[in-house]
């Protein structure tokens, strides 16, 4: 059964989108530094993969705090929109990336029947984001020009990044939130 959106859900969605848009814009600077460091080694493609999970955190966080079908996708796209409005170096392309990442997250949650905070669900979320986004960027970024071992290395690093940021860090953040919110109610 679909739950109706409430005003507090919309306000929280706006807050999370604005917050993560800022996180995304800041991580663009980390991306630039990492690219500069890895380029002399011929490994600049890994800059994107190492940080990739950071750019996907809005989807699972939004889905956990607003447990509605579609909230992961909407949260990721709106965070990407905030990033664009802040002046993202990735331009409007960030919106399409946000859509793909959000749909991957949504897929992971749907196949685990929307048990948002479970390890199984967060792992499926990470796999969904990784696969959906990697297929998209395989074409967009021209990864097909690389050797198979190099592409598989990129895929593994992306999954590790997404799992760390979108499963481990998201779950830790949510647990801390629950711990502090239960203390404030006491």
**Whole-number pLDDT of residue 7:** 95
Distance (Å, whole) CA 57 – CA 75: 9
Does residue 4 surpass a pLDDT of 90?
Answer: no
For the segment 35-88, what is each residue's pLDDT rounded down to a tens digit?
A: 999 999 999 999 999 999 999 999 999 999 999 989 999 999 999 999 999 999
Rg of the chain (C-alpha set): 16
pTM of the shown model: 0.93
Question: 142: helix, coil or strand?
Answer: coil
Q: How far is CA 6 from CA 11, 14, 106, 109, 174, in A?
A: 9, 13, 20, 21, 21
Give the confidence band of 97 by pLDDT, cuts at 50, 70, 90: very high
Does residue 1 surpass a pLDDT of 70?
Answer: no
Q: By C-alpha distance, which of 111, 102, 157, 177 is closest to 132?
A: 102
The answer to whether the CB of 83 falls within 8 A of the CB of 25 is yes
């Amino acid at each position: 059964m679909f739950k109706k959106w409430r005003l507090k859900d919309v306000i929280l969605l706006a807050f999370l989108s604005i917050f993560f848009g800022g996180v995304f814009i800041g991580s663009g600077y980390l991306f630039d530094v990492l690219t500069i460091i890895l380029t002399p080694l011929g490994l600049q493609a890994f800059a994107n993969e190492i940080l990739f999970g950071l750019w996907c955190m809005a989807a699972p966080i939004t889905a956990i705090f607003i447990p509605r079908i579609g909230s992961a996708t909407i949260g990721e796209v709106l965070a990407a929109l905030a990033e664009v409005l802040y002046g993202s170096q990735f331009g409007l392309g960030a919106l399409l990336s946000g859509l793909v990442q959000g749909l991957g997250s949504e897929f992971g949650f749907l196949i685990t029947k929307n048990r948002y905070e479970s390890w199984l669900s967060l792992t499926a979320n990470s796999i969904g984001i990784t696969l959906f986004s990697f297929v998209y960027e395989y074409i967009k970024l021209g990864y097909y020009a690389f050797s198979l071992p190099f592409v598989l290395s990129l895929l593994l690093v992306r999954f590790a990044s997404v799992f760390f940021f979108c499963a481990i860090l998201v779950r830790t953040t949510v647990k801390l939130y629950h711990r502090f919110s239960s203390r404030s109610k006491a």
